[in-house]
Amino acid sequence: MKKFKTSFMGFDKQEVKDFVHEYTVEYENLVNKLKNQDFEIENLKASLAKYQNLEETLNKTILIAEDTSNQIKRIAREESKNIVDEAKKNGSRIINDALIRASEIEHDAEELKRRVIAFKRKFKQAIENEIEVIDEIADKY
């Protein structure tokens, strides 16, 4: 606490004026400092709100990305299952077609074998007939 010297009519006026001026300057400095701090606090609050909003947006984005990732995985699993099922169906169809074709070829081979045997028999009969004709001609001469 400041103590003032006394003079003829009370306190020393110059000392009081100097004190009041010093106190006023210090008070103004404190007020300005408080205003600056208030301004800085408002700026920090605005920045904090901006970063909180950014954090909320990032969290939502992460959730959306996770959901999208899960959907893509699910779709990929379904597509791979469909591809495998389709491949199995095609494989079964190809095998059935091959079995049918093999059976047809086997049937054709059996038919061809019968024809060859019949042809051999007819050819042998024709040759035997020709030999008989040759023998008859040879016997006549």
- d(Cα 13, Cα 19) in Å, to the nearest integer? 10
One-letter amino acid for residue 18 of the chain: D
Domain locations along the chain: 10-105
List, for residues 51-102, the tens digit of each pLDDT value: 999 999 999 999 999 999 999 999 999 999 999 999 999 999 999 999 999 9
pTM: 0.48
Run of H or E residues at 7: strand 6-7
CB 40 within 8 A of CB 33: no
With a pLDDT cut of 90, the percent of the chain lying above it is 77
- Assess whether pLDDT exceeds 80 at residue 141: no
Q: Are 29 and 40 in contact (CB under 8 A)?
A: no
Distance CA 3, CA 24 (A): 17
CA distances from 89 to 99, 122, 136 (A): 15, 49, 69
Rounded CA separation 115/109 (Å) = 10
